[in-house]
Structure 1
Amino acid sequence: MRTDSLLLVGSLFISSLLILVSRPVIKQQPATYTQKAIGQINQQFKLDLKRFERELVRFENAVKDFSTEEILEKDLRNSYQSLRTSFKKVEFVLEYLDKEAYDKVLNGAPLPKLEPKVADFNILQPKGLQVIDELMAEEDLSAVLDDLVSQSKKLSTGATSVIAFSKDRRLTDRQFFEACRQAIIRMVTLGITGFDTPGTTMGISDTYTVLNSLQQSFQYYEYELENVKQQQMFKKVNNLFDQAGRQTRKKGFENFDRLKFIKEYAQPLYASLLEVHLALDYETIEEVSRFPLAVNYTEDNIFSENFLNPFYYVSLEDSDQVDDLEELGKLLFFDPILSSDNRMSCASCHLPEKAFTDGMRTSISNTGHPLKRNSMTLNYAVYASGYFHDMRVKRLEDQFEHVVFSEDEFDSNYASIIDKLNKSPKYADRFQAIFQDPRSKIRNHHIDYALTAYVMSLNSFDSPVDQYFQGKREDLPAEIKRGFNLFTGKAACATCHFAPLFSGTVPPLYVESESEVLGVPNDKNTPLVLDDDRGRISNGNMREVAEFFVSSFKTPTVRNIDKTGPYMHNGVFASLEEVMDFYNEGGGAGRGISLEHQTLAPDPLGLTKQEISDIIAFMKALSDTTVYDNHVQLPQDFSQQRLNGRRVVGFD
């Protein structure tokens, strides 16, 4: 009996060993919050934030010591470099947590701007690191010492409150990946282009610091990725960080190959961090937010057709009716029924073959005389927070009423238009099928929404440059590559025309559009005279009556620019060569026009003829390959026969 018992115990022991040996080893998650990746990331952020706080104090003290000649100029410059490095280590979290404070206090553009979302008219004077960067670019820092003392104190004071708000915040895993990917957008659109460093052009070394900070935080996820059997994914992303870091380490601003960096390193990182986020099964912003965002988080390519969400910019909802609404909008766009004399349509000034412009210096009125401004392209127009050259309208769907009521354009009103549309059963049925109005009425906003839906469709993102970044095209001609690097580097074009729209819609959130003061002349005769169009300050919006908006005009996209000439708000320049010469010489101020608030630097860019030619080649490569099928059959069933004789307007 005892022997049998021993045999039974021994058999059970051996069976247990076999089960243990054959069972797969499953690594347990760290037991505490601080042992998890996100816990360690938050701890590291606190340490880096303390370093930034110390460097703020040191820099402010260094400025004071320099003013009393206790330290040398090189010591002050070294202190500034240390400050920038400490800031760039924490920037991706600070901007993510509080974008408004980031822009107001830490690193906003060095220009005055209106304070948004407040009842009072309040002008925010420029302050922060970009202002200091312009001062630190001076050859003789003693010449700007008073400004340095003032700005360093403002930065230290403002940053202290931001740090106090941020130091006790805890990022979640979702927020970490969102902040990382937002930082990559910022890096390629504002960092390597020099936007962040308008004076010192330290953007490449900044980028190295940002990459290093992101990589350090990402490495905490090695254990979690191992647990879901994604070791190769970890190695892939870590290697990309290594390679990107090598590309930016000790590289100069003008000779940096931005195109290669974006294509081979930044874009793959942007996509791979999304893969990691999804592989770890953490929720995304799109799953927790009730509101649409401008950037589609789950898109993995900055140059993708779906990278930006057009529905963020309009009041329309993404629904099954959008396609039908777009078709109705297309009919209305080419139908002169909208104008009082049934002769002018939207396409009178927005021809599809000219990228929805008209090829005229300024558009022609309904009586045949020239209007004041050049026709703007409608391609990619939806992605903006302001419309018309003077940005007087803030939503795309609100733009059309200005054309309807203008005596020089449609010279009509909605009641008259609706009365005519109701005389066509085909039009009436289309409106009712889409909007299902309980009283079977066509309403003002129905017309606006239909036209909006059509304009929203005019974005193909399929130019040769897009195709290259999307991996649909193996290579680009050498002159286009050189042009891209000049556009995003030495020529500083990309500091106002931001990728991927190459317009004034500002990354990394793409929720605000900018206007610029360029000093555009009224003609090309010398001496040059500033054009008398006062621009944004006269747009009728009393909240924008600020002196720095005198002669300020919306920054348009340069996509399809080879089809949209003549150029500038008044069509003064007939060719891209003339436009480039104007910029190369410092705009109006550089050519002798006295202009207090010009936002374009008045200093010459020093571009050679070959460099200008390369930039133009690049801009032409931003032309869409899509040809829009805009041939429509207008309804001809109106009860008034005179309306059935109208022709489609908008084709040669």
Structure 2
Amino acid sequence: MKYHTTPTIRFESLVSISFYTLCFVLLFACCSGPKQVTEKTPLKTVENIYKSDLELCAAHLDSITTSDDIDKHFALAREYFKRAEPILAYVDKDNYKSLNQPNILSVEEEDLTDIKINNPFGLQVMEEQLAEEQPDTAAIKENSRLTENRVRLILHNTKLKLENHHIIWLVRESVVRVSLTGITGFDSPAALNSLLEAVTVYESLRNILSAYRQNFSNENLYNEWLTEIDRTTQALKGDFDRFDRYSFLKFRTAEQLRLINRTIKDWEVEFPFELALRNDAVSLFAPTAFNVNFFTDYRNGNTDTESKIVLGKKLFLDKRLSRSGQMSCATCHDEKLAFTDGLKTFPKQKRNTPTLLYSGMQKAFFYDNRAGSLEGQIAGVVKNKNEFHSDMALLTETVKADSAYAKSFRKIYGKRLNHTTIRNAIASYVRSLAPFDSKFDRNVNGSENTLTASEIRGFNLFSGKAKCATCHFPPLFNGTIPPEYKRTELEALAVPADKSEQPEIDPDLGRYELFKTEERKHFFKTPTVRNIAETAPYMHNGVYDSLEEVMEFYNNGGGHGLGIRLEHQTLPTDSLHLNKREIKDIIAFMRSLNDQAYERNNKKEKPQELASAK
């Protein structure tokens, strides 16, 4: 939840498909040379439509700077941007993010000598500017000018080079983006125009698949795609707050993933490698969805095999790896406590111990994101004087001295028994701690039908009105952003030091302590909500003991609602206006994210919840 709440505005589509088609025909009939006109390859058709969308987006951005009807031209610019999104977000990810970034400062910290702080611009920023009670017309027009220049730069440099597997990847990315961020309001926080924009994205996907119709050897499969897109666009028609996101994920997104897999076989596509999501993923809520090796920095025989996992668990439990011989990884991450320690903070530590469940599927580690992989995080623990208080050389000698370890490493890694392979083995075990067998997973995958009405309402609120899913992205429900999973977000919530009536902000400066960047004071990584019913106390300092307290904090505007004024708070500063039943429903949903091993806390409440759902 990283956006400031502002008055709601809504923009409806102001052009018809026929007008769009006419613009496309006129543009390319007049501007394209003979060779371009006669080329009828699927890719050329897609490129022409893509360029047309960018050109029309730029044209309406230009009209914003010269016209008094800013709202109209913004709506059209945004529509054409969304039409271009499936291609743009795939072929030019950085520019896509720049054009669609949130209205908060962008901070890039490479090292102490290379820190960049950029003011945001683009369509999402413009949306929030237009939603202000007294919009700053001059600022909006300047933003429009900058945005138009970037769009025209992209247009000038566009030459698509896409193979069939790229088309599959970009279609899947669009499907996943809509279902996990698009329908949550992630990039339309002020207008809440996400559902209509999702319809526009699916219309673009229809155009892409139509261009590639000749690739389908199974005509029925092509027609099934068209039928599914019709069903999806129909399902997306409705009110943002009342939209049934659970059913959309369970039926529409799941069906589209199945169609993608059938299309891969029909087109006989061969992929050169795996991305974060496995190429054959048929569900986003299954242990087979993710390519866990995408999240490692180990590149020699890069596979988390079962034998590696078994070896890693032995190392994880081994107290001899610490200098004192009294601490193992499991000392702070107890499997019986959902891989936490159940404490506000562990002795001599200043931050709460997070769960290791699902932690492997992130791109940054520790609360301040100081490590870029699990392997790097493990090195940090080893060196920390309040944890292992050792070094990798000493740890490696300890492992080498154990003949059983030496034998296992020879079998798995050949002759490589060193600090790199030791860290990789432990990390392989941690990455395996992602069972995806919660009640919610089983229901969204259709293996059972046991979710209560309260739990379903809670998920829909979590992903809609409450805006929780704009920071805790399904299916991992952490801060690693889908569909690429290349960046793990930090947020500033202004967490209090205690629960007094007039609290001060917690003195821990978080990310700031790494680079001393003022704009990063009190920023912390977004952890997973999976198994959250088992991981109290909450927040980076363990200040809250219950989910009810956490929800009250969020509902009242974070630290701002407690009187704490943090300049760069990313949580909406005004109330979410959730009533008591809505809060109860959200908590019920979060409890449904307990994996089977940790469902005991739910069982005693189950009869009451089921009764309320009838």
Asked if Structure 1 and Structure 2 have the same fold, meaning a TM-score greater than 0.5 normalized by the shorter chain, the answer is yes
TM-score normalised to the size of structure 2? 0.87
Q: Is contact 2:105–2:117 with CA below 8 Å preserved after alignment?
A: yes
The Cα of 1:44 is off from its aligned counterpart by 2.5
Q: Is contact 2:61–2:74 with CA below 8 Å preserved after alignment?
A: no
Identity of aligned residues (%): 35
- The farther-off stretch of 486-495 and 466-475 is 466-475
Question: Which of 239, 246, 250 pairs up with 1:252?
Answer: 239
The answer to whether the aligner puts 1:194 opposite 2:199 as a matched pair is no
Q: Which residue of 2 aligns with 1:322?
A: 305
| Pairing 1:196-595 to 2, within 5 Å after superposition | 196-225=187-216, 228=217, 230-249=218-237, 251-283=238-270, 286-287=271-272, 289=273, 292-317=274-299, 322-365=305-348, 371-437=349-415, 442-539=417-514, 542=515, 545-595=516-566
Q: Is contact 2:304–2:428 with CA below 8 Å preserved after alignment?
A: no
Give distance in 2, aligned partners of 1:385 and 1:319: 17
The alignment of Structure 1 onto Structure 2 pairs a total of residues equal to 561
The Cα of 1:450 is off from its aligned counterpart by 1.8
Counterparts in 2 of 1:413 and 1:77: CA distance versus 1, 3 Å: same
Q: Which residue of 2 aligns with 1:138?
A: 132
**SS of aligned partner of 1:140:** coil
- Please tell me the residue identity of whatever aligns with 2:368: D
**SS of aligned partner of 1:114:** strand
Give distance in 2, aligned partners of 1:97 and 1:60: 28
**SS of aligned partner of 1:507:** coil
Counterparts in 2 of 1:319 and 1:411: CA distance versus 1, 3 Å: closer
**SS of aligned partner of 1:82:** helix
Give distance in 2, aligned partners of 1:181 and 1:33: 30
Q: Which residue of 2 aligns with 1:57?
A: 62
Greater C-alpha Rg = 1
Q: Is contact 1:237–1:273 with CA below 8 Å preserved after alignment?
A: no
The Cα of 1:472 is off from its aligned counterpart by 1.8
Q: Which residue of 2 aligns with 1:15?
A: none
Give distance in 2, aligned partners of 1:139 and 1:378: 44
| Pairing 1:118-133 to 2, within 5 Å after superposition | 120-133=114-127
Counterparts in 2 of 1:425 and 1:33: CA distance versus 1, 3 Å: farther
**SS of aligned partner of 2:524:** strand
**SS of aligned partner of 1:393:** coil
Q: Which residue of 1 aligns with 2:157?
A: 165
1:466-486: per-residue Cα shift (whole Å, max 9, x none)? 222223223521111101100
- Please tell me the residue identity of whatever aligns with 2:372: K
TM-score normalised to the size of structure 1? 0.82
The Cα of 1:422 is off from its aligned counterpart by 4.2
- Please tell me the residue identity of whatever aligns with 1:191: G
1:432-468: per-residue Cα shift (whole Å, max 9, x none)? 3333327xxx422232122111111111111122222
The Cα of 1:149 is off from its aligned counterpart by 2.2
The Cα of 1:423 is off from its aligned counterpart by 4.2
**SS of aligned partner of 2:114:** coil
- Please tell me the residue identity of whatever aligns with 1:455: V
Give distance in 1, aligned partners of 2:122 and 2:525: 25
Unaligned runs of 5+ in 1: 1-31, 66-74, 366-370, 629-652
Counterparts in 2 of 1:587 and 1:319: CA distance versus 1, 3 Å: closer
The Cα of 1:36 is off from its aligned counterpart by 4.2
The Cα of 1:201 is off from its aligned counterpart by 0.8
- The farther-off stretch of 513-522 and 397-406 is 397-406
1:277-324: per-residue Cα shift (whole Å, max 9, x none)? 4302244xx32x5xx522223313222322221111113356678322
1:371-421: per-residue Cα shift (whole Å, max 9, x none)? 211001111111112111111111111112222222222222334434444
Q: Is contact 1:49–1:90 with CA below 8 Å preserved after alignment?
A: yes
Give distance in 1, aligned partners of 2:88 and 2:302: 36
Counterparts in 2 of 1:53 and 1:568: CA distance versus 1, 3 Å: same
Counterparts in 2 of 1:520 and 1:54: CA distance versus 1, 3 Å: same
Q: Is contact 2:124–2:187 with CA below 8 Å preserved after alignment?
A: yes
- Please tell me the residue identity of whatever aligns with 2:239: G
1:554-580: per-residue Cα shift (whole Å, max 9, x none)? 000101101111000000000000000
- The farther-off stretch of 238-247 and 414-423 is 414-423
- The farther-off stretch of 175-184 and 205-214 is 175-184
The answer to whether the aligner puts 1:108 opposite 2:95 as a matched pair is no
Q: Is contact 2:534–2:598 with CA below 8 Å preserved after alignment?
A: no
Give distance in 2, aligned partners of 1:378 and 1:320: 20
Counterparts in 2 of 1:266 and 1:59: CA distance versus 1, 3 Å: farther
Give distance in 2, aligned partners of 1:482 and 1:271: 26
1:99-128: per-residue Cα shift (whole Å, max 9, x none)? 011112x11222222347798322232111
